[in-house]
Amino acid sequence: MKHPLSLATLVFLVASWLPADEVLQAVALVKAGNGQGSGFVVREGDDYFLYTNTHVLEGGTPLSASTMAGNALTLGALELADKRDLARLSLPAYAGAALELVSGIPALDDPIQVIGNSDGAGVATKLEGKVLGVGPDLIEIDAKFVQGNSGSPILNEAGEVLGLATFAVKHAEPENWLKEDSRFKEIRRYGVRIEGTTWVEMDMEGFQKRAALLADLNEMFTHIYHMKFTEVYDNAARTEVVYNASIEAGKFREYRWFARDLGTYAVQLNGAWEWVQSFRRGVNEHNRTRSQSQRRDAVRDIKMSQLMYQQRIVGFRRESDRLRAKVRRLLAHDHWGTDYFLEKAKVQYKMLNHILEVPE
């Protein structure tokens, strides 16, 4: 049996063949360092603002934004949402098209569109879907946005902004059988809502400093993970970590001396790992040979390896503790400005603290 379409659905289908010119003119491409994202212009009273996600701006410098017509936007003062991944910049010289913010709570199953810089390709695309869930800070949608869409407006039928496309998660929980026949085992996509935001002013230099610290700490985590797991522990044939601090320093945005610290860390790791390898060789030799004298020699080598490992692990543990303390001081002595930044700093420290743990 065929069901007639409602008037509201027909209106949306007709209107969604092509985004209105005013919508496209209000969407912006945002570039921060080597990263790209999306944004859009909103008019609030007599003022215009460029809205995007905070994490888009964290990509680095230089920061720029332009309209679909290729016109560069003059960016003014920066404000960050205190508890959300949301930022806006004033547009003091702007007088073009702008979007309107929605008031009230979006309804479940309402049709929506996401318009932005999908995959960072430098063109505006339209992704259609509907509202799946609503919370005080977030809205869940099924429009399949991807990287580059961060900061894209989520629009209702009237062209009003419900929120910004922000992040996606996939819950890998094989033991949770209750999700197996539900949509909750699939990728879920979320936007951050704007309504109810508390704004915090932050100068761009201070913002970039905080963003660079978090980015460089994440880079440090990547280096340590690579050293401890992919370079050595998961590669029995490799006998040492090769870490060129002068070359690796170029991967850090501001705190390039992290590479020097990691070079020292690699030396200490190699010192301990050398005797782990020696211990393994001794065990293999002991298990392989049938000669009593060779077995005695292997046992002697095993005991010596254990003793040397215990001595070398002291230096490795000391260097790990030094790195952990340095990171803790860097994070604790900075006034993060917003709860959003503070929570990211806490997560970063937790990650580093975990990976710097030294086995007994």
- Mind listing the pLDDT tens digit for each residue in 264-317? 988 888 877 776 666 666 677 667 777 777 777 777 777 776 777 777 778 888
Whether 351 and 214 map to the same domain: the answer is yes
Is there a domain that residue 104 lies in? no
- 294 lies in a domain? yes
Residue where a domain terminates, one of 90, 124, 141:
90
The answer to whether position 281 is within a domain reads yes
Both structure tokens of 144:
């399949």
Are 137 and 274 in a shared domain?
A: no
Q: Which pLDDT score is estimated for 356? A: 86
- Euclidean distance between CA atoms 94 and 30, whole angstroms: 16
- Regarding whether 236 and 194 lie in a shared domain, the answer is no
Q: Tell me what pLDDT residue 16 has.
A: 47
Does residue 95 belong to any structural domain of this protein?
Answer: no
Q: What is the domain-level CATH number for residue 180?
A: 2.40.10.10
pTM of the entire predicted model:
0.82
Strands 63-67 and 111-116: unpaired
Round to whole Å and give the CA distance between 333 and 177: 45
Query: Is 227 within the bounds of a domain?
Result: yes
CA dist 298 and 302 (Å) reads 6
Same domain as 325, residue 261: yes
- What the block records as the tokens of 151 is 């900061």
Are residues 257 and 230 located together in one domain of the fold?
A: yes
Helix or strand (DSSP H, E) at 74: none
Residue 76: phi, psi to the nearest 5? -110, -135
On whether the CB atoms of residues 89 and 49 are closer than 8 A, the answer is: yes
Longest CA pairwise span in the chain (Å): 92
Tell me if 234 is assigned to some domain: yes
CA distance 268 to 247: 19
Q: Do 153 and 51 sit in the same domain of this protein?
A: no
Check residue 136 and give its pLDDT: 94
Q: How far apart are CA 107 and CA 98, in angstroms?
A: 24
How far apart are alpha carbons 307 and 301 in whole angstroms?
10
Per the structure, the complete domain to which residue 255 belongs is given by 204-355
212/321 same-domain check: yes
128 touches 111 (CB < 8 A): yes
Residue 10 lies in a domain: no
Check residue 78 and give its pLDDT: 97
d(CA 151, CA 157): 19
Alpha-carbon gap, residue 165 to 192, rounded angstroms: 7
Which parts of the chain have pLDDT scores under 50?
1-3, 5, 7-19
**Same domain (yes/no): 208, 350:** yes
- Residues 79 and 121 grouped into a single domain: no
